[in-house]
């Protein structure tokens, strides 16, 4: 028997749906506090030394954290080719803005202290803020558009036609999701700075983190009410073949009010996802006030896990609905690569993901501890 037949096609498709979620959540939790820290930089650091302290809390780890995004992009390309094609084409300008913003981070880290000029350093501090705020906002906006459906369609030859525009992505619900993303990551960044710094920087970080946690709870609840009352989800009305060919046009889909809540009725355990979103943010709010440093960062991560998971489990089996032609919507059952491709990728993933986790864990172990003025002075040849 061929080895890949030991895991059936349906199971592999679900496994890869879960793995993509793990990779995206891993990116949001690890690189999320980097983005949140960059967003908080102008507000928590008032002197040049304080800004250097903030920058050096993330300077040694941001590259490793961003690996999760790179791996997620590569996995989408290999495991879900139609999803990659539609999203990276339709969201091209948004993706370009995200990448341009992310590029500002390494440049800002490297060049900020090259000249002893307040104007020079202030300009790079602004760049680091943009590199944190803009990706956080646009990632959330993208998620909001996915929930509403994206204006694309396939013709009979499976050619993709995207009929939206960049400014069409900036609709009210998507902007609300963007604000949730910013608040969530600022909360996470505040928890990180409370863990990694001390003195005035940590106190300001706690204050802004508390506000961000409260805003996260309010906006997440508002988004849920909006989905419930404001627009419908999508539902497959034709028979589903979980092992069928990857052809999105071989099904019938309707837009239906309340469709994004059906999975919770069928599998009540899935309600843990939004519950984790609320409990994690509430716990981070309490933890920041009570100065529970390690517990707070873990609770903040739990909130991120819950909020992102809520989107995934609400939409399953959809991964990218089409508002233009619901039949063209991409689902777990009709947008994947072949059985053999998914199996080979799974073998590679089982080998390398533990290595990445082990290496990342070792890095955080080595770099454990607070960053303060003495740290910067002691490592003057290495600190940013």
Q: What is the mean pLDDT of residues 356-378?
A: 84
Instruction: Say what percent of the chain tops pLDDT 70.
Output: 97
Q: What is the pLDDT of residue 167?
A: 85
Asked if pLDDT for residue 380 goes beyond 70, the answer is: no
Q: Is 98 exposed, middle or buried (0-12, 13-18, 19+ CB in 10 A)?
A: buried
Asked if pLDDT for residue 149 goes beyond 50, the answer is: yes
Q: What is the pLDDT of residue 229?
A: 87
Asked if pLDDT for residue 378 goes beyond 80, the answer is: no
Asked if pLDDT for residue 1 goes beyond 50, the answer is: no
pLDDT band of residue 168 (cuts 50, 70, 90) is confident
Q: What is the pLDDT of residue 382?
A: 62
Based on C-alpha coordinates, what's the Rg of the chain?
A: 22
Q: Which pLDDT tens digit goes with each residue over 170-213?
A: 999 999 999 999 999 999 999 999 999 999 999 999 999 999 99
Q: Which pLDDT tens digit goes with each residue over 286-326?
A: 999 999 999 999 999 999 999 999 999 999 999 999 999 99
Q: Which pLDDT tens digit goes with each residue over 23-43?
A: 999 999 999 999 999 999 999
- The H or E element that residue 77 is part of is helix 62-79
User: DSSP letters along 230-252, please?
Assistant: H--EEEE-S---TTS-S-TTSS-
Asked if pLDDT for residue 115 goes beyond 60, the answer is: yes
What's the mean per-residue pLDDT of the chain?
Answer: 92
Asked if pLDDT for residue 243 goes beyond 50, the answer is: yes
Q: Which pLDDT tens digit goes with each residue over 244-292?
A: 889 999 999 999 988 999 999 999 999 999 999 999 999 999 999 999 9
Cα distances from 17 to residues 79, 88, 159, 281, 303, in angstroms, run: 9, 18, 24, 26, 20
pLDDT band of residue 101 (cuts 50, 70, 90) is very high
SS3 32: helix
Q: Which pLDDT tens digit goes with each residue over 61-100?
A: 888 888 888 889 899 999 999 999 998 888 889 999 999 9
Cα 251–chain centre separation = 30
Q: What is the pLDDT of residue 379?
A: 64
3-state SS, one letter per residue, for 311-345: HHHHHCCEEECECCCHHHCEECCCCCCCHHHHHHH
Task: For residue 61, report the phi and psi dihedrals to the nearest 5 degrees.
Answer: -120, -15
Would you say 102 and 65 are in contact if contact means Cβ atoms under 8 Å apart?
no
Please provide the distance, in angstroms rounded to a whole number, between the alpha carbons at the two ends of the chain. Answer: 56
Asked if pLDDT for residue 106 goes beyond 80, the answer is: yes
Q: What is the pLDDT of residue 383?
A: 66
Q: What is the mean pLDDT of residues 224-231?
A: 88
**221 is written with which tokens?**
């609840």
Asked if pLDDT for residue 126 goes beyond 70, the answer is: yes
Cα 68–chain centre separation = 10
SS3 279: helix
Could you give the dihedral angle defined by the CA atoms of residues 169, 24, 182 and 383, in that order, rounded to the nearest 10 degrees? -130
Q: Which residues pair with 254 in a beta bridge?
A: 235
Asked if pLDDT for residue 13 goes beyond 80, the answer is: yes
Q: What is the pLDDT of residue 196?
A: 94
Q: What is the mean pLDDT of residues 103-132?
A: 91
């Amino acid at each position: 028997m061929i080895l890949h037949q030991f895991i059936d096609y349906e199971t592999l498709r679900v496994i890869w749906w879960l793995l993509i979620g793990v990779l995206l959540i891993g990116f949001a939790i690890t690189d999320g506090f980097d983005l949140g820290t960059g967003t908080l930089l102008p507000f928590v650091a008032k002197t040049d030394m304080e800004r250097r302290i903030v920058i050096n809390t993330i300077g040694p780890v941001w590259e490793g954290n961003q690996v999760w995004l790179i791996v997620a992009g590569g996995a989408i390309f290999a495991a879900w080719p139609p999803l990659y094609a539609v999203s990276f084409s339709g969201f091209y300008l948004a993706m370009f803005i995200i990448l341009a913003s992310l590029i500002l981070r390494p440049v800002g880290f490297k060049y900020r202290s090259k000249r002893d000029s307040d104007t020079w350093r202030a300009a790079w501090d602004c760049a680091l803020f943009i590199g944190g705020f803009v990706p956080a906002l646009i990632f959330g906006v993208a998620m909001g558009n996915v929930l509403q459906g994206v204006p694309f369609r396939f013709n009979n030859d499976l050619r993709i036609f995207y009929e939206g525009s960049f400014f069409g992505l900036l609709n009210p619900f998507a902007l609300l999701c963007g604000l949730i993303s910013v608040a969530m990551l600022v909360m996470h960044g505040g928890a990180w700075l409370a863990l990694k710094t001390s003195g005035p920087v940590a106190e300001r970080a706690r204050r802004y983190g508390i506000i961000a946690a409260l805003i996260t709870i309010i906006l997440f609840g508002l988004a849920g009410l909006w989905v419930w009352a404001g627009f419908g989800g999508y539902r497959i009305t034709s028979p589903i073949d979980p092992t069928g060919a990857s052809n999105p046009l071989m099904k019938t889909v309707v837009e239906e009010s309340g469709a994004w809540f059906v999975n919770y009725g069928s599998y009540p355990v899935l309600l843990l996802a939004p519950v984790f979103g609320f409990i994690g943010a509430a716990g981070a709010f309490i933890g920041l006030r009570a100065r529970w440093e390690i517990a707070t960062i873990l609770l903040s991560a739990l909130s991120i896990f819950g909020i992102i998971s809520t989107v995934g489990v609400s939409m399953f089996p959809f991964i990218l609905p089409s508002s233009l032609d619901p039949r063209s919507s991409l689902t777990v059952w009709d947008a994947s690569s072949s059985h053999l491709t998914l199996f080979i990728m799974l073998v590679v993933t089982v080998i390398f993901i533990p290595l990445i986790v082990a290496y990342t864990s070792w890095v955080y172990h080595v770099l454990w501890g607070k960053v303060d003025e003495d740290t910067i002075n002691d490592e003057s040849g290495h600190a940013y």
